[in-house]
Chains A and B, each alone.
Chain A
Amino acid sequence: MSETAQQDSVRPWRLADWFVRHGRMLVIGLPMLWLGIFFLAPFFVVFKISVSELAIARPPYLPLTSWEDGKLILTLNLGNFQYLIEDSLYVSSYLTSIRIAFFSTIFALLLGYPMAYVIARSTGHRRNILLMLVMLPFWTSFLLRVYAWIGILKANGVINNFLMWTGVIDSPIVMMQTDFATYVGIVYTYLPFMILPLYANLAKLDTTLLEASSDLGARPLTTFLTITLPLSIPGIVAGSMLVFIPAIGEFVVPTLLGGPDTLMIGRVLWSEFFNNRDWPVASAVAMAMLVLLVLPVMWLRRAQSQQEAG
């Protein structure tokens, strides 16, 4: 090969080299940029508001920095957080949120696990139809579906009418504006988020493991408890996270279906923002919730990755 030909062939290779070296950065960089703009930046805005002071202004809080006598003064008002602890309303609504989210997750798991199991065990056409049925509700607006539940649960709704007609009850059962209705709404709404990761996990399960277990003398229940269940833990964790985390901050369901005493943190946040126009406290509520959620999730992820490694 001649000298010039070799030099010519260098140029296009340089570009390729650049991609090889920086392609990784490019691929990772785009989502990072996205997260930076749409997650991290708003996060800092909320954080800033949470440590600022309430003011009757527009926006309704004071700036963090001020200029006095040639000094730049940074005022961090931690009073909003202190207020969260002092006023029992916040603590109790956090606890209510966690309780409702926790039990909703348990119910969704108990309902979703058998459903995911059946879908994973069925084949071909049947499996597709069942998966479709799980995802079908997403084609209707979430708000509409929650309203539909009002029609089902209210005093002269579908359930009460049916029970009265059959003569099981004389007067309607009060279901609307109770914790029960909140649970129904949340479990109903988030069930697909439990089923899909569980299904993805259970569908991967190697059925010869179940045969091996049976072959070694395990009855079906023992096989489930010693093989299927432990191997599906990643699916259980993923599904539970996808239900638990949004359920804690859920606003629509407790507002529409829950009673006045179902104080979940999402509702408190809303009324702080829009009824009291107390943005700093509302932001403090949001920050506290984030910390409350992120810490256990991070701990779980760490435990999971350690388990996978070991």
Chain B
Amino acid sequence: MTSKPSPAQDNPWQSDNVKPFIRIRNVTKKFGPVAAVDDVSLDIYKGELFCLLGGSGSGKSTLLRMLAGFEEPTAGSIEIDGQDMAHVPAYERPTNMMFQSYALFPHMSVERNVAYGLHRDNVAKGEIRQRVADMLELVQLSGYGRRKPNQLSGGQRQRVALARALIKRPKLLLLDEPLGALDKKLREETQFELVTIQETLGVTFIVVTHDQEEAMTLSTRIGVMNNGKIEQVGEPREIYEFPGNRFVADFIGSVNMFEGIVTETEADFVRIRSKDADCDIYVSHGVGCAPNQKLWYALRPEKMEISRERPDQKENFFEGIVEDIAYMGNQSAYRIRLKSGMVVRLTRTNRDRGEETPITWEETVFVSWGPSAGVVLIA
């Protein structure tokens, strides 16, 4: 068992000889004494759909606005397609942005909104008409060209905003919470549309979102931001299965975090004693740590087994009492209280329909997991 998924050669970020399309180098943005973005360095490659994921105030929007040219970095440099963006105003950048509020011009029809960018470049009238018609067809809004933004539904406005941002065929499209204003069902549909459009046009997308599910579904890679810094950059699977620190593990999905002390560390295994978990934890790969070092063991709710019988193993299991059960159809979520007082969350797929004696409230159960189910976190 290796600690990381094996690198696939066709991903540009895993290759040394592909030049990044966007280079962000030590960028800091201060508003007064507060650093909204703090010494961020990031490479993004051509054709990527990169998600900047973080809570409010994490600096993700500020970073996006610096790429668009609405904010100047206090320090550091931003390069797009080999060109330094310092002092390049927004109207001269090869980027377009889709705003969270859509920012459609209320006094213009859908057609005029979409054509706005082309008019600014003095594109010939006939070509504008053709390109606007093609773009409206791409976003499935043919026939809505004459309407004003206030005569459209939220989902239609979102697509007008997308069409307007794509019409100039930008090298880089910046999307600020593109699906934030849509309801859940529409959001799910639009997610896939967005990916299809991105793949069809081959434009590089940078998406800012606070919705981790959205980030997981959309992106080639995710950059998790917190307090103006990038905590981790990786593919969705990597971010979920191999979080780099406690913040990422906790922010993405749900996790049980056990604090522990290293009792044994070897090249191919580590043994941790955890008071929280009330047992020894055996990890079947080496971790760069020293004996007696304090660290954390992160275990996702779906990576554990629940059973009435004591498992036949020396470590990686504990005994607890079922405190709460939530039946959610496809799965059930359990909250199990350990002797240490810690409450562990655990989910189980409901594979059988007619379970005769399902585990129930106040029952004593055993929870176990495999030697590679959890992640050892040093920070």
Contacts and interface: CB of A to CB of B under 8 A. Distances in A.
B116 A215 contact: no
A206 interface: yes
Nearest to A212: B103
A227 interface: yes
B30 to A, nearest CB: 18
Interface of B: 68-70, 89-93, 95-97, 99, 101, 103-107, 116-117, 120-121, 164-165, 168
B90 A211 contact: yes
A217 B121 contact: yes
Nearest to A233: B107
B101 A216 contact: no
A208 B68 CA distance: 12
A217 to B, nearest CB: 4
Interface residues of A, number: 17
B70 A216 contact: no
Given A206-B101, A216-B116, A216-B117, A231 B168 contact: no
Contacts of A218: 91, 116, 120
A214 B99 contact: no
Nearest to B101: A208
A230 B105 CA distance: 10
A40 interface: no
B78 to A, nearest CB: 15
A122 interface: no
B107 A215 contact: no
A219 interface: yes
Contacts of A215: 68-70, 90-91, 93, 95-97, 165
A171 interface: no
B106 A211 contact: no
Looking at chain A's contact residues, is the secondary structure mostly helix, strand, loop, or mixed?
Answer: helix
Given A206-B101, A222-B120, 16 more contacts: A208-B103, A209-B103, A212-B97, A212-B103, A212-B104, A212-B105, A214-B69, A214-B89, A214-B90, A215-B90, A215-B165, A216-B116, A216-B120, A217-B91, A217-B92, A218-B120
A211 B99 contact: yes
22 contacts: A208-B101, A211-B99, A211-B103, A214-B69, A214-B90, A215-B90, A215-B95, A215-B97, A216-B91, A216-B116, A216-B120, A217-B92, A217-B117, A217-B120, A217-B121, A217-B168, A218-B116, A219-B91, A222-B120, A227-B105, A230-B107, A231-B106
A67 B120 CA distance: 76
Residue from the set B91, B95, B107, B117 with the largest chain A CB neighbour count within 10 Å: B91
Contacts of A231: 106-107
A223 to B, nearest CB: 8
Contact of A211 (B70, B93, B107, B168): B70
A216 B68 CA distance: 10
Contacts of A227: 105
Interface string A172-205: 0000000000000000000000000000000000
Given A206-B101, A211-B99, A216 B168 contact: yes
A213 interface: yes
A213 B91 CA distance: 8
A219 B121 CA distance: 11
A214 B117 CA distance: 9
Contact of B91 (A208, A209, A214, A230): A214
Contacts of A208: 99, 101, 103
A216 B104 CA distance: 12
Nearest to A307: B107
A220 B142 CA distance: 31
Contacts of B120: 216-218, 222
A206 B103 contact: yes
Nearest to A230: B107
A263 B95 CA distance: 60
Given A211-B70, A211-B90, A222-B120, A216 B164 contact: yes
Contacts of B91: 214-219
A227 to B, nearest CB: 6
A212 B113 CA distance: 10
Contacts of B104: 212
Contacts of B70: 211, 214-215
- Please provide the 3 A-B residue pairs with the shortest distance between their CB atoms, ordered closest to farther: A216-B117, A217-B120, A212-B103
Contacts of A226: 116
